[in-house]
Chain A
Amino acid sequence: MTEKANGSPESNGHSGEYLLETRNLKMHFPIKAGVFQRTVGHVKAVDGVDLSVRRGETLGLVGESGCGKSTFARLVLRLLEPTEGEVIFDGEDILGYDRKRMLSVRRNIQIVFQDPYASLNPRMTVGNIVAEPLKTHDVSSGSSGERKRRVQELLEVVGLNPEHYNRYPHEFSGGQRQRIGVARAIALNPRLIICDEPVSALDVSIQAQVINLLQDLQKEFDLTYVFIAHDLSIVKHISDRVAVMYLGKIVEITDRPTLYGEPRHPYTASLLSAIPIPDPQKERERERVVITGDVPSPANPPSGCNFHNRCPRAQDYCTEHEPGLEEQEKVDHRAACFFPVLEGQRIEEPATSTPYSAESS
């Protein structure tokens, strides 16, 4: 996992290490008003995201609702056209691709959606749902017998009865439907799967089934995952590296042990402290930092650092300057904060030092 982390990753401009990169990716949705539908503002759903996903890894992307996680997923697949930026898949910027070339890219990038009730067409049989990508991309060509065999094989891989290919989605439970969604996603042997909250609609006892399945498939088919979730425990369980998003921006990114062990950004730290742990003893001993207020509207984000109005450490400096995603002491650990939480510090301790590497570096 971490042996890949040698050398400075950002200096490496080649496609070698990374399967997917985004550079300064932005999605600003216009807000229209009035009789003439004039644009009166923008919802900055994704606002300058640089992310690199290594081959074979699972990158977790966490954040609260409305932070732009799902929009990011749609941008990578070009289900939405970004306002600005680059999406580089396997060394090539795919944003300029026409429909035909895009089709070949989509063969390699697939998505598993959040809601297994809404993402499967209720009027198609499971066999047809799973076979659809095969038809669209014209693989296992010609004979429908061959295609049927492939579909049954896929159903078996995800732990469903292959004899059920003639049934409709409503005949399956939530967990089983999500397995169908996974079967559809792996049908084309993609290299990258974007999992957009794949288990949050499922009951707790079913979540583990789907998470284990995703982990097994990754090993078996050498898949790369971008795993989007709001649940930091699930992300911790499945990810090699984790990025935390807040109001359309990445605020911290590093490998799993560092993010959960030594978070630098006060937002990450307070998110971690907000999650209840199913262990009464630990809960009694825990000191919880409760951050106040709600997530601000992405149409009108706060000045300077986006997080300053909720941040327990914020200084005047934060309201005027916008922090960049700066390298921390560890290689491969970046956080966007002027006054990062240092080792042994409490989150709510007001920072007094000079702004972190803002001018010095």
Chain B
Amino acid sequence: MLEVNNLKTHFKTHDGVVKAVDGVSFSLEPGETMGIVGESGSGKSVTALSIMQLNPKPPAEYPEGEIIFEDQNLLETSDKRLQEIRGNDIAMIFQDPMTSLNPVFTVGNQIREAIRIHQNLSKGEAQEKTIQVLRDVGIANPERRAKEYPHQFSGGMRQRAMIAMGLSCNPKVLIADEPTTALDVTIQAQILELMVELQEKYGTAIIMITHDLGVVSQLADKVMVMYAGRAVEQATTDEVFYDPLMPYSWSLLRSLPRLDTAGEVRLLPIEGTPPSLIFLPEGCNFSPRCPFVKDECHETDPALEEKKPAHTAACILSIEEIEKNKHRVDEELGVET
């Protein structure tokens, strides 16, 4: 349904070209959930904004690649057609529910606006629909709540309202960009449960962007790990979590205190910081921080290759070498395997 091929999103700045997204490919089926994980600055959000065509041009440029949604390339579609797709077929939920709602309009007003732009409904019908979607996302007393302003909503309720707006036109794809990062865990659990429920009801495909590996393991069918603008590993969720074949994904999992094992093992610190997207390191982008690094890594830039059926990773090490290295570092950390 949605297919992204070799997408490149570059930003021209005074200091040079920022390669925010540099060759990302994936496809998404109806009803499927894909997780995109990575640190801040790894290109997750820019990927999402590229699909929505919301990156300001200039400075954004798309030197290569295509985004195919239902047989049309979104990179070549007219603005008018994009308007119809955005919000209607592909909707997006942003991280911060406070800044993504307009403080001077009522919540109901904002949801109704989205509905009226995309659906040929009268004012009264749109109002009914607004109340109904608010009820769908579990807001008590939707008639009264629709007349309230965003500041009268709590953080969790604002995010519910954003989801209501996103789903009001029954989109085929919902892009959720860190939808729970600003929320407390008990509220996060509520929102994630709601998203699963609504996905089952409407069959929406979801792209879940997050830095929280726990959220991904809870929701996603498949995962794309991003580092410095590139996809460095792509596979099913189980494959990525149980048998990661890119040292970065593996290190991330080992650097995380987890509820099930916390305190028993030492955490693996990933030394250094993510590279600048203007001056990328020689060879592999992760080589300056990689615990498995060898000399060739500083020379060869690894391409994303199929290491196992339906499991791609960008690393020049063979599976055997990776396994040997994992074992070595695990012994140092005291992890039992």
Contacts and interface: CB of A to CB of B under 8 A. Distances in A.
Contacts of A277: 214, 217, 258-260
A138 to B, nearest CB: 36
Interface string A208-237: 110110000000000000000011111011
Given A175-B273, A271-B186, A294-B154, A204 B214 contact: no
B194 to A, nearest CB: 9
Contacts of B251: 205
A208 B255 contact: yes
A276 to B, nearest CB: 3
Contact of A278 (B185, B189, B256, B269): B256
B256 A282 contact: no
A331 interface: no
Interface string A282-319: 11000010111011000000000000000000000000
B interface, size bucket: 35 or more
A342 interface: no
A176 B271 CA distance: 11
B274 A278 contact: no
Interface in A300-359: none
Given A207-B255, A233-B257, A274 B188 contact: yes
Given A65-B184, A294-B157, A278 B241 contact: yes
A65 B193 CA distance: 21
B28 interface: no
B72 interface: no
Interface in B25-76: 39-40
A208 B186 CA distance: 24
Interface in A253-284: 256, 260, 270-283
Nearest to A176: B273
Given A236-B257, A278-B217, A270 B186 contact: yes
B255 A256 contact: no
Interface in B255-277: 255-260, 262-263, 266-271, 273-274
Q: Which of A230, A278, A281 has the most CB of B within 10 A?
A: A278
A278 B213 contact: yes
Given A203-B211, A233-B259, A236-B257, A288 B193 contact: yes
A212 to B, nearest CB: 5
B186 to A, nearest CB: 5
Contacts of B187: 294
B253 A278 contact: yes
Contact of B185 (A204, A212, A260, A275): A275
B128 interface: no
Contacts of B267: 208, 211-212, 237
B257 A212 contact: no
Contact of A280 (B192, B211, B237, B269): B237
B96 to A, nearest CB: 14
B257 A204 contact: no
A277 B185 CA distance: 12
A139 interface: no
A259 B246 CA distance: 35
A15 interface: no
A103 interface: no
Interface string B126-158: 000000000000000000000000000011110
B331 interface: no
Contact of A203 (B39, B262, B269): B39
B259 A205 contact: no
B215 interface: yes
A311 to B, nearest CB: 12
B259 A236 contact: yes
A206 interface: yes
Contacts of A279: 217, 241, 258, 260
A173 interface: yes
B237 A294 contact: no
B226 to A, nearest CB: 13
Contact of B215 (A233, A276, A292, A294): A276
B305 interface: no
A203 B227 CA distance: 13
Contacts of B193: 288, 290
Q: Which of A208, A233, A271, A281 has the most CB of B within 10 A?
A: A208
B114 interface: no
Contacts of B155: 294
A346 B313 CA distance: 42
A173 B256 CA distance: 20
A64 interface: yes
B220 to A, nearest CB: 8
A292 B262 contact: no
Interface string B158-200: 0000000000000000000000000011111110110000000
Contacts of B184: 64-65, 230, 295
Interface in A62-92: 64-65
A294 B40 CA distance: 28
B13 interface: no
Contact of A282 (B188, B252, B260): B260
A280 B217 contact: yes
A206 to B, nearest CB: 7
Interface of B: 39-40, 154-157, 184-190, 192-193, 211-218, 237-238, 241-242, 251-253, 255-260, 262-263, 266-271, 273-274, 289
Given A209-B270, A233-B259, A294-B156, 17 more contacts: A204-B39, A205-B251, A208-B256, A209-B269, A231-B257, A232-B259, A237-B262, A238-B263, A271-B185, A271-B186, A276-B192, A277-B258, A278-B214, A278-B217, A278-B258, A279-B217, A294-B157
Per CB-CB distance, the 7 closest pairs between chain A and chain B, nearest first, are A276-B214, A237-B257, A274-B189, A236-B262, A278-B213, A208-B255, A208-B267
20 contacts: A65-B184, A173-B273, A203-B40, A204-B39, A205-B274, A208-B256, A212-B269, A230-B184, A233-B262, A236-B257, A271-B186, A272-B259, A274-B188, A276-B192, A276-B217, A279-B217, A279-B241, A280-B237, A283-B218, A292-B190
